[in-house]
Amino acid sequence: MSHLNEHGITHLRHVDLAVTDYETQRAFYRDTWGLTEQGTDSGLSYFAAEGSPEQYVVRLRQSDEKRLDLIAFGSESRESVDALAEHLGQTGVQLVGEPDTLQTAGGGYGFRFFDIDGRTIEVSTEVETRQHRAIEEGEAIPVRISHAVMNSNDPNATRDFYANVLGFKLSDTLWGEHMGEMMHFMRCNDWHHSLAIARGPHTSVHHVSFEMRGLDEYMRGTGRVMRAGTKKIWGPGRHNAGNNTFTYFLDPSGNTMEYTTELEKIEVDEWHPSVYDIADPMTQDVWGTADPMSEIIARDSFNDPDKGVFVAPPV
C-alpha cells in the first residue's frame, strides 16, 4: 500500500508536556478529560486512553517551565528505527541520542532527534502494549490519541521537513488570501492526519486531539468538559479537511486540547491534496454550528513560545 510511510513510521504514540501546575493538570486529564492515570514516577504522570493499546497517550512532567517535551511516533521494526537514525544523521538532522533501549514506561527501542523547528521527536518500536478495551456506547472518554498540531512561523519549511526527511504525506492544506498557506495536514498511515503544521507566531503546541467513540460520545464529552467550567475555544462543529468533528478547550496551563470523531481514512493510493480557502465558511465548519473562525479564536491556540526548542527534555 503506497500510503504507508517509507521510513516505517506507523502512528502517533503520545505527546509529552512539561507543566508548572502539575497537580491541577493531573486532575484535569484524569477527572475532566477522561484519561486513565496509568502510573506516576517522581514528578512524571502517564495517562492512557482506555480504548488504546498504547502504554500512555499523554505524559505530564512537573517543571518550572511550560514546554512540549516530545512527540512520539511508532515504528514497525528495529531495522526501521536503525535505518531512520542513519538516514537522519546523513541528512544533517541533530540526533539527541543513538537508537537504544528506552527508559520510559513500556520500554521499547528507539531514539530522539530535533525536527527543523527544534521539537524533540521520538521514534520507537517494541514498546509493551497495555490491556485496553472497547469503549461502550454512551461512554464519553477518549478511545485513542488522534493527532497533534504544531505551530510554526514557517509552516511550509516544516511541512517539507516532515515530507522529505520523514516520509509523511500531505493530505490537504488550508489557505487564506492574506496569510497564504495556514495549515498542512500530514499523514504517516491511512488516517487523514496524525500531524498538522499551523502557521503561528512561534514554535509551540497548537492542539492535541483525542478520538471519541462516535458522535453521541463526542457530544457528551464536549458537554461534560463545558460543565466542568473548562474554557471552550471553538466548536462543536465539523471540519471540511479530514471530515472530523471538533471541540477545542484550553487545559489549565493554556494548551489547547480537542475532542474529535470520525476522522477520515484515506483508502486510495492516488490521493490529491486539496487547498481549502479559510474564507469559505464551509472550510472551517460544514455544520455551521461553531462560531466563525476569528483572530480571537485563532490567538487562543498560538500558545506561549515553547521553552524547549532544541533542548532535549531531561527524561
pLDDT band at 106 (very low <50, low <70, confident <90, very high): very high
Ranges of beta strands (E only) in the chain are 9-19, 36-40, 44-48, 58-62, 67-75, 100-101, 109-114, 120-125, 144-152, 169-176, 180-187, 195-199, 204-211, 232-238, 245-250, 256-260, 274-277
Start-end of H helices in the chain: 22-27, 78-91, 155-160, 215-227, 281-284, 295-300
- pLDDT for the residue 139: 98
Q: Average pLDDT over the chain, rounded to whole?
A: 95
More confident residue, 284 or 53: 53
User: Strand pairing of 36-40 and 44-48?
Assistant: antiparallel
Q: What is the pLDDT of residues 262-279, one digit of tens each?
A: 999 997 767 889 998 988
User: Once rounded to an integer, what is the mean pLDDT over residues 207-217?
Assistant: 98
Is CATH 3.40.50.720 the right assignment for the domain spanning 9-125?
no
pLDDT band at 188 (very low <50, low <70, confident <90, very high): very high
Residue 242 pLDDT greater than 90, yes or no = no
- pLDDT for the residue 2: 45
- CATH architecture, range 144-300: Roll (3.10)
Residue 1 pLDDT greater than 50, yes or no = no
Percentage of the residues of the chain whose pLDDT score is greater than 70: 98
Residue 82 pLDDT greater than 80, yes or no = yes
User: Once rounded to an integer, what is the mean pLDDT over residues 152-170?
Assistant: 97
Domain ranges within the chain, ordered by starting residue: 9-125, 144-300
* pTM exceeds 0.85 for this model: yes
Could you check whether 9-125 and 144-300 share the same CATH topology? yes
236 CB neighbour count, 10 Å cutoff: 20
